[in-house]
Amino acid sequence: MRCAITRRRTTQVTVGQVKLGSETPIVVQAMTNTDTADAQATARQVESLALAGAEMVRITVNSHDAAAQVANIRELLDRRNVSVPLVGDFHFNGHRLLAAYPECAKALGKYRINPGNVGKGAKRDEQFCNMIEIACRYDKPVRIGVNWGSLDPDLLARMMDTNAMLTQPLSADAVMREALVVSALENAHRAIEVGLPADHIVLSAKVSHVQDLISVYRNLSGRCEFPLHLGLTEAGMGSKGIVASSTALAVLLQEGIGDTLRISLTPEPNGDRNREVLVAQQILQTMGLRAFTPSVVACPGCGRTTSSLFQELAQQIEAFLRVQTPIWKGLYPGVEHMHVAVMGCVVNGPGESRLANIGISLPGAGENPSAPVYMDGERVTTLKGARIASDFTHLLETYVEARYGGQEQARLLLQDLVKNGLVEQQHTSI
């Protein structure tokens, strides 16, 4: 029995063809690291991220050259049948760029505005309102994205002064956390005053430390009904970035907080940008919030297991499922919810395999060289010899076709398996 997570109730925001909010699945977002002025390179990376599973992609719009290419990037993507919405990331000069390049303003699916750097003093409100007015003109949603590293200095100074006058003042960190929430909410309400509908607003309040992020989003989520974009900013490289992001976001997601997320991993030089998409998907799928591809349960290995056989098979099956799932989804609805077990010995192998849709328990070190295969809780055959990997992959393909392809097809496929000796006659209950 799995415990359901109750999502925090929000308004619904539409970004292109993507809907954000508590009534729709949590959306995976990514961001390019190309020079947006290079339309071909940016379009290629957006397409790659979309094919990996990104449902929105943010691009930097930081210069006249970049803004001039946004409409071209959208056109290139449309020609390739890549419909993923583009989110324009604006800092410092967004008010000028959006006004100077109306084709850019129209081509974007959403604007991301950081209220901490839209201007200083009296110009701050004017320039923020200019951007909101353009969003209203073109009916575009806006993410008001507050960031710990670029918090509005005037707001922070005002709140620090007020705190200093308290009998029991809060710590500076606590004031900064509150300032992030206040900045997001004040600017959202200012946008509504200018004319932006409430269902066109998404909020974020990003920091780079796990406990601070959890505290800020708990606070923010309790004070509004806007959809929230989650992300641990500057999470870091490799396993550190993955662990930090997973730790922070898992707590918030478990509490029903979050409607879209991005995993801000620092890629290695020339590294694969798609990794942040895969990590985001794995977080959501591991928590049972969404299903993107069949999941593989595999044991960690110990002194009882063979040195590499089950590891190699688990790796092969993971790669096979990643490639096949986009094809299968169009043919076999629900296949992304399938569970596959690849276990290394008889201790937990048979039990985990029975609990999976299809599973195999490989022979451990010194054990009888045979590998029982289970389908829907029933042992259907035992594989032996050098062809265990290829035979199990064939069984997996056949199981998918049988389980998700219809009863008559299942009957014919199982007859074929029996005929070829891959499934025992008495075990044909798929």
Q: 299 a known binding residue?
A: yes
Going by their DSSP bridges, the two strands 358-361 and 370-375 should be labelled as: antiparallel
* Residues 6+ positions from 92 with CB-CB distance below 8 Å: 62, 117, 118
Tell me: is residue 3 an annotated ligand-binding position.
Answer: no
Cα(58)–Cα(51) distance, rounded to whole angstroms?
A: 15
Q: Determine the Cα–Cα distance for residues 288 and 307; give it in Å rounded to an integer.
A: 32
Question: What HEC string does 54-82 produce?
Answer: CCEEEEECCCHHHHHHHHHHHHHHHHCCC
Task: Say whether 255 counts as a known binding-site residue.
Answer: no
113 in Cβ contact with 144 (< 8 Å): yes
Helices (H) and strands (E) in the chain, counts: 14, 17
**Calpha distance 102→113 (Å, rounded):** 17
Distances (CA, A) of 42 to 47, 49, 86, 273: 9, 11, 11, 12
Distance of CA 374 to the CA centre of its chain: 31
- Copy the structure tokens of residue 322: 């990643």
Instruction: Say how far apart CA 343 and CA 8 lie, in whole Å.
Output: 37
Please indicate if the annotation marks 136 as binding a ligand: no
Residue 208's nearest CA partner among 191, 233, 242 is 233
Closest by Cα among 280, 252, 285 to 264: 280
Binding positions for [4Fe-4S] cluster: 299, 302, 345, 352
Binding positions: 299, 302, 345, 352
